[in-house]
Amino acid sequence: MTSSPNIDATLREKILAEPAAILDDRDLMHALIAANDRAIGSNVVDLRGIAMERLEARLDRLEDTHRSVIAAAYENLAGTNQVHRAVLRMLDPMDFEAFLRDLAGEVADTLGVDHMHLVLETVQTGDDPAVNRLGGVLRVVRPGFCNDYADGGRGAPPRQVTLRQVQAGNRTIYGEAADYVRSEACLRLNFGPGRLPGMLVMGAEDPHQFTPQHGTDLLGFFAGVFERQMRRWLD
């Protein structure tokens, strides 16, 4: 090291006054380390430099993990707020028909789904005027349909919420819109002793909106609230 510095005096004074500014600048530190490597020659192994590179790589991974955790937390919070708003809207109607119409209207819009249908099993046959009036949201099916549909006919143990991607929706559920459905959520419903089960089906044109990797806690909560509302109307 020479006692006669070649650096500009003004720049040198700024560096001496604020050395932390260099330490906080990653590009400057890389340039200084590279200059040091050239100075010591190619036949010397700089263990300190290797250790710094490994620590830097580990820090980058930790920062990526931190960002992912923060993003997931914000996403979960947004999802929770969505479900809470949908539940509050579901509690507003004072009659059953308005309750079901809101389900396919403002409730579905709040949850951000393209289609929502209530599927009820029944042993009755023939036309029902109430069913005809609510044909946009209500589907009436044979006993056992909900379990078969939710588990894809595999006979798997029942789960309250099933999320999956599909090539196309079921026409019994979605009607003419079935060709546009690419993912769906099936929420099984228990209406109490002596009553056949039901199911809420949410369909989306986005194939990534409902996938098996997504959590189901919020949809399970929504299904639980819906069950209790339905029992109130059925009573």
Q: Check whether residue 99 and residue 33 sit in a common domain.
A: no
pLDDT in tens, the chain (235 residues): 455 556 777 777 777 777 777 767 777 777 777 766 666 656 655 666 667 777 777 877 888 787 777 766 777 777 788 889 999 998 888 888 888 888 888 999 999 999 999 999 988 755 666 566 776 888 989 998 998 898 876 766 678 899 999 999 999 999 999 999 999 999 999 988 888 999 999 999 999 999 988 888 899 999 999 998 888 887 6
- Is the residue at 182 inside a domain? yes
- DSSP structure class, residue 180: G
Within 10 Å of residue 198's Cβ, how many Cβ atoms?
22
Please check whether residue 3 lies inside any domain of the structure.
no
Query: Looking at the structure, do residues 57 and 73 belong to the same domain, yes or no?
Result: no
Range of 138's domain? 68-234
Residue 113 tokens read as: 């789904």
- 97: tokens are 């028909």
Q: Has residue 173 been placed in a domain?
A: yes
| 122 and 82 in a common domain | yes
Domain boundary among 61, 78, 97: 61
Do both 115 and 30 map to the same domain? no
Q: CA-CA distances (angstroms) from residue 3 to 8, 13, 15, 115, 141?
A: 14, 16, 17, 77, 92
**Shared-domain flag, residues 37 and 81:** no
CA 234 to chain centre: 32
Cβ–Cβ < 8 Å for 139, 120:
yes
CATH number of the domain that residue 184 is part of: 3.30.450.40
Rounded-to-integer distance, Cα 113 and Cα 206, Å: 9
The reply to whether 2 falls in a domain is: no
Q: How many domains does the chain have?
A: 2
pLDDT for the residue 1: 47
Regarding whether 157 and 53 lie in a shared domain, the answer is: no
Last residue of one domain, picked from the residues 46, 61, 76: 61
Q: Are residues 106 and 221 in the same domain?
A: yes
Residues 123 and 211 reside in one and the same domain: yes
Domain presence at residue 110: yes
Check residue 48 and give its pLDDT.
66
112 is a domain residue: yes
pLDDT tens across 178-199, in order?
Answer: 999 999 999 999 988 888 999 9
Does residue 138 share a domain with residue 47?
Answer: no
| Residue that finishes a domain, picked among 61, 83, 98 | 61
One domain, residues 72 and 152:
yes
